[in-house]
Amino acid sequence: MTSARLMLGNGLAKDLAADTARRSEDFHQRAGRRPCLATVLVGDDPASVTYVRMKQNRCRQAGIESRHVALPDTTSTEELVAALTALSEDPEVDGILLQHPVPAQIDERAAFEAIAAGKDVDGVTMHSFAAMAFGLPGYDSCTPGGIMRLLDHHGVDPAGRHAVVIGRSPILGKPVAMLLLARDATVTVCHSKTQDLPAIVRTADIVVAAVGRPEFVRGDWLKPGAVVVDAGYNEGNVGDVAFDEAMSRADLVTPVPGGVGPMTISVLLDQTVRAAFEHAGLG
Ligand SMILES: Nc1nc2c(c(=O)[nH]1)N[C@@H](CN(C=O)c1ccc(C(=O)N[C@@H](CCC(=O)O)C(=O)O)cc1)CN2
């Protein structure tokens, strides 16, 4: 039985982080301060606490200052918007990250829109989405941006290929569909109401699984030779694709862990340093 090649993210994420650290130090020398990322966490969801801590650690390694705002899980939309507006107006803050998901009483879209476009290094605002959709310069949503970098690194050109995105979340499915479309893929976005999902996936040259359900995509759904990007980050480090089944059918597969995940934070740091240069007029 043939086996697919792995599309590993660890090494590429490290290379990007090393380049970011060099640019961060250059910024420090020229601006007399370090780039600064503000992380905002509402509540104490354990996975979110872990992801925010990973982001802070990676900031430290890259010479990026991180400032943390922790809010209780009873926070209202108005209170969160006020905190994000204050960070948007703070000249010492270059980038703002609001960890998703937020508690149910909060209007997450209203909160994201309180992030100034020039500080949206996580690519979650409508402004950033429009830039992704039109293929204009801007800040990518981090996981989708990481996926595009992974595809480029492995020589996968989306132009003219049928990409099937499973999932339509605002920070993953929708933006990755826009980035693929901007690179001339023919894109189909599938979701919970899609009829006969396996039949649609079987027509895909590139599959992006972003459903949030462990091992949801089965090997016999895949066209032989497909490129499979697993953007799942389920509990226990399990992806959205049945990995062994995909490996015996596809050409390229991202593993979980070690595929898309590590790219997410590297893109966030890269975009934070880019924002710092732009704010200081050094870009
Ligand atoms: N505001 C945001 N919220 C969330 C985002 C986001 O991009 N912006 N993404 C996800 C979670 N996430 C970051 O927040 C994230 C998930 C997974 C990884 C990662 O590196 N995973 C590793 C395994 C990690 C481990 O060993 O525990 C991997 O796949 O190899 C990074 C970031 C939801 N929220």
State whether the beta carbon of 262 lies less than 6 angstroms from ligand 1: yes
The answer to whether domain 32-119 and domain 141-260 are alike in fold is yes
pLDDT computed for residue 46 by the predictor:
96
3-state SS class at 141 = coil
Ligand 1: residue of 264, 269, 272 to mutate (most ligand atoms within 8 A of CB) is 264
Which stretches of 75-233 are assigned E, i.e. beta strand? Answer: 95-98, 162-166, 186-190, 206-209, 227-230
pLDDT of residue 2: 74
Q: Which fold has domain 32-119?
A: Rossmann fold (3.40.50)
Residue range 212-262, pLDDT digits in tens: 999 999 999 999 999 999 999 999 999 999 999 999 999 999 999 999 999
Distance 99 CA to ligand 1 centre (A): 10
Q: CATH for 141-260?
A: 3.40.50.720
| Ligand 1 lined by 51 (C-beta under 6 Å) | yes
Is the peptide bond preceding residue 101 cis, with omega within 30 degrees of 0? yes
Q: What is the mean pLDDT of residues 143-161?
A: 98
Residue 167: per-residue pLDDT: 98
What is the rounded distance in angstroms from the CA atom of residue 42 to the CA atom of residue 5? 39
53 CA to centre of own chain: 16
Q: Is the pLDDT of residue 151 over 80?
A: yes
Give the domain ranges of the chain: 32-119, 141-260
Q: How confident is the model over 32-77, as pLDDT tens digits?
A: 999 999 999 999 999 999 999 999 999 999 999 999 999 999 999 9
Give the model's pLDDT for residue 1.
60
Measured from the CA of 260, which atom of ligand 1 is nearest?
Answer: 29
**Euclidean distance between CA atoms 203 and 186, whole angstroms:** 11
For 163-215, how does the pLDDT look when each residue is reduced to its tens digit (9 = 90+)? 999 999 999 999 999 999 999 999 999 999 999 999 999 999 999 999 999 99
- The answer, as to whether pTM is greater than 0.95, is yes
- The answer for residues whose C-beta is within 8 angstroms of residue 22's C-beta and 6 or more apart is none
Q: Report the alpha-carbon distance of residue 58 to residue 54 in Å, rounded.
A: 6
List, as residue ranges, the binding site for NADP(+): 167-169
The catalytic residues are 55, 99, 122
Tokens found for residue 279: 């704010």
Walk across the sheet containing 227-230 and list its strands: 5-6, 252-253, 227-230, 206-209, 162-166, 186-190
Mean pLDDT of 131-157: 97
- Report ipTM (2 d.p.): 0.98
Q: What pLDDT is attached to residue 47?
A: 96
CA atoms within 13 A of residue 268's CA, in its CB half-sphere: 29
What pLDDT is recorded for position 85?
Answer: 98
3-class state of residue 163 by DSSP = strand
How far is residue 100 CA from its own chain's centroid?
11
The pLDDT mean for the chain works out to: 97
271 lines ligand 1 (CB under 6 A): no
Asked if pLDDT for residue 123 goes beyond 80, the answer is yes
pLDDT of residue 283: 76
